[in-house]
Amino acid sequence: MTVVEIPGSKSITARALFLAAAAHGRSTLVRPLASDDTEAFVEGLGALGYRVEQGTSEWSIDGAPAGPPFELADVFTRDGATTSRFLPVLAATGSGRYGFDSSAQMRRRPMAPLTRALRELGSVLEFGGEGDHHPMTVHATGLAGGRVRLDAGTSSQFLTALLLAGPLMRDGLTVEVTDLVSEPYVAITTAMMHAFGIDVVQEGRTYRVEPGTYRAGRYEIEPDASSASYFFAAAALLGESITVPGLGPGVLQGDFAFVDVLARMGAHVEKRAGSTTVTGTGKLSGITVNMRDVSDTMPTLAAIAPFADGPTRIVDVANTRVKECDRLDACATNLRAMGVQVDTGPDWIEIQPGTPRPAEVRCFGDHRIAMAFAVAGLRTPGTTLDDPQCVKKTFPTFHTVLADVQRSFGGAGGQRYVAAARR
Ligand SMILES: O=C(O)C1=C[C@@H](OP(=O)(O)O)[C@@H](O)[C@H](O)C1
Ligand SMILES: C=C(OP(=O)(O)O)C(=O)O
């Protein structure tokens, strides 16, 4: 049995940084994720005037409940959608002029439902590019708050961003949500707001937050369940056993449910308080699965699907087309390059069983495509990635950890892991 330590959750780290910045007093985050996305968040907070001290396993933040300490800032949010969507809303609660820009990849990703709501709540926004995208400037005079309708059908992050800032709005916030994807991420948000002293009242699709002040504190961050999916999948694929400490029943992250998908395919899954073990049984069945709630793990499943004994159909994942890349097309392109038969539709992908051959995987600058196909590469020695370093967005040490895991399997799955070696 191999034990794999997974770095902290990106989603929890981003929320904890926001909550700590908005709280009264000094907070400490325990085992935060250090990666490109979360460094961008920290850098953004620094540009806005918050003080963040980064140790190796703990970060401390001095909160400022009245909005950003600086009145003038330019923030570059890189590729991270959490940073790009959460920080402009935090900035809008203050008073000043705050410019936001991001990478070419992030500039393309949707923002409009969020910026529309922000305007309705009292913010003046100016856009430098095409439509409601980065680059944008927030002319902040505090947010009046009130009631808004929100379409979160392309991203739950719009709702999370507004809820996090809700208590800082003069009249508090009521959001009527017309559509919602990735719902478990909203549960992470409300659970963490509660931990920082603010309750969200939910009635059906309406969320209400009263004005208030977050309470600073010490917050422990779970290992990242989406990052763990690659190692659980590797165990299922290779007939090995992998234990991830820190993930078990009761965790905040919805993506932990990926282990249930593997169980449906035939893997043995043992969940204990504080750790989970997945053991491959040599049998991998094709399944039909709705991944609307856990869509960051769609590429993980797509990449191992051809090794199953029947077709795998993943449905209701339209919003994976507006992530770091169009993930349905990226998965189909790479699987076809490996000789696998694949069909896609607007919100689904169907993968036929086959005998994949090694190929050079096109990552499209997307960490999840790189990591998912690195796992498939364990069964197709000779597989390479065109951009192995893009994993730094959420998991900078991924290739080292995967190589160590393969070594611990004693060569199971063929030759030593080489996916990262090409460039
Ligand atoms: O709130 C969050 O931390 C996230 C929400 C999800 O995005 P969408 O709501 O856009 O699907 C997820 O894909 C992303 O990696 C992180
Ligand atoms: C979609 C992702 O990230 P984000 O939307 O936070 O950029 C992801 O990590 O898979």
Same domain, 193 and 297: no
Is position 1 within any domain?
A: no
Closest approach atom of ligand 1 to CA 160: 1
Average pLDDT over residues 111-139: 95
Name the more confident of 129 and 258. Answer: 258
Ligand nearest to the CA of 160: 1
Over 90: is that where the pLDDT of 415 sits? no
| Ligand 1 contact, 13 CB (< 6 A) | no
Closest approach atom of ligand 2 to CA 366: 10
Same domain, 286 and 197: no
Tell me how far the alpha carbon of residue 150 lies from the centroid of ligand 1, in angstroms. Answer: 16
Q: What is the pLDDT of residue 423?
A: 44
Same domain, 112 and 158: yes
Of 220, 249, 284, which residue is a domain's last?
Answer: 220
Over 60: is that where the pLDDT of 420 sits? no
Same domain, 199 and 258: no
Taking CA atoms only, the protein residue closest to ligand 1 atom 2 is: 11
Over 80: is that where the pLDDT of 327 sits? yes
Is position 320 within any domain?
A: yes
The model's pTM is 0.98
Nearest of 328, 281, 333 to residue 301 by alpha carbon: 328
Is position 334 within any domain?
A: yes
Residues 330 and 364: beta-carbon distance below 8 Å: yes
Burial degree of 369 (CB within 10 A; 0-12, 13-18, 19+) = buried
Closest approach atom of ligand 1 to CA 10: 3
Q: Of 268-277, 364-373, 414-423, which range is least confident?
A: 414-423
For residues 38 and 14, give the distance between their C-alpha atoms in angstroms, rounded to a whole number.
6
Q: What percent of the chain stands above pLDDT 90?
A: 96
Write the single-letter amino acid at 240.
E
CATH, residue 184:
3.65.10.10
Ligand nearest to the CA of 291: 1
For residues 277 and 377, give the distance between their C-alpha atoms in angstroms, rounded to a whole number.
22
Question: Would you put residue 141 in left (φ > 0), alpha (ψ -120 to 50) or beta?
Answer: alpha
Considering the chain, what is the average pLDDT of its residues? 96
For residues 167 and 118, give the distance between their C-alpha atoms in angstroms, rounded to a whole number.
14
Confidence of residue 419 (pLDDT cuts 50, 70, 90): low
Q: What percent of the chain stands above pLDDT 70?
A: 97
Task: For residue range 309-326, list pLDDT tens digits in order.
Answer: 999 999 999 999 999 999
Over 60: is that where the pLDDT of 422 sits? no
Which residues 6+ apart lie within 8 Å of 72 measured at CB?
96, 97, 98
54 annotated among ligand-binding-site residues? no
| Ligand 2 contact, 38 CB (< 6 A) | no
Same domain, 302 and 253: yes
Tell me how far the alpha carbon of residue 374 lies from the centroid of ligand 2, in angstroms. Answer: 18
Same domain, 47 and 120: yes
| Ligand 1 contact, 38 CB (< 6 A) | no
Which of 33, 296, 347, 368 to mutate for ligand 1's pocket (most ligand atoms within 8 Å of CB)?
A: 296
Residues 379 and 204: beta-carbon distance below 8 Å: no
Tell me how far the alpha carbon of residue 329 lies from the centroid of ligand 1, in angstroms. Answer: 19
Type and span of the H or E element at 361: strand 360-361
Q: What is the pLDDT of residue 290?
A: 98
Is position 113 within any domain?
A: yes
Over 60: is that where the pLDDT of 372 sits? yes
Distances, alpha carbon 200 to alpha carbons 164, 170, 189, 251, 288, in Å: 10, 16, 9, 19, 34
Average pLDDT over residues 82-110: 97
404 is catalytic: no
Tell me how far the alpha carbon of residue 171 lies from the centroid of ligand 2, in angstroms. Answer: 31
Is position 231 within any domain?
A: yes
Tell me how far the alpha carbon of residue 155 lies from the centroid of ligand 1, in angstroms. Answer: 7
| Ligand 2 contact, 80 CB (< 6 A) | yes
Confidence of residue 421 (pLDDT cuts 50, 70, 90): very low
Taking CA atoms only, the protein residue closest to ligand 1 atom 3 is: 11
For residues 134 and 123, give the distance between their C-alpha atoms in angstroms, rounded to a whole number.
16
218-220 vs 124-127, strand pairing mode: unpaired
Residues 411 and 374: beta-carbon distance below 8 Å: no
| Ligand 1 contact, 157 CB (< 6 A) | yes
Is position 265 within any domain?
A: yes
Confidence of residue 181 (pLDDT cuts 50, 70, 90): very high
Nearest of 66, 17, 19 to residue 45 by alpha carbon: 17
Q: What is the pLDDT of residue 416?
A: 60
Residues 160 and 130: beta-carbon distance below 8 Å: no
| Ligand 2 contact, 323 CB (< 6 A) | yes
Same domain, 311 and 344: yes
Same domain, 336 and 271: yes
Taking CA atoms only, the protein residue closest to ligand 2 atom 2 is: 323
Same domain, 213 and 82: yes
Catalytic residue among 37, 224, 255, 296: 296
Is position 419 within any domain?
A: no
Beta strands in 102-166 (DSSP E): 124-127, 136-141, 146-152
Over 70: is that where the pLDDT of 178 sits? yes
Confidence of residue 417 (pLDDT cuts 50, 70, 90): low
Beta strands in 265-341 (DSSP E): 268-272, 275-279, 288-290, 312-315
For residues 103 and 282, give the distance between their C-alpha atoms in angstroms, rounded to a whole number.
42
Is position 422 within any domain?
A: no
Average pLDDT over residues 246-268: 98
Our count of domains for the chain comes to 2
Tell me how far the alpha carbon of residue 81 lies from the centroid of ligand 2, in angstroms. Answer: 6
- For residue 236, what are the domain limits? 225-408
Of 182, 205, 220, which residue is a domain's last?
Answer: 220
Same domain, 210 and 232: no
Same domain, 153 and 48: yes
Same domain, 183 and 235: no
Over 70: is that where the pLDDT of 87 sits? yes
Residue carrying structure tokens 């927030």: 138
Of 220, 236, 263, which residue is a domain's last?
Answer: 220
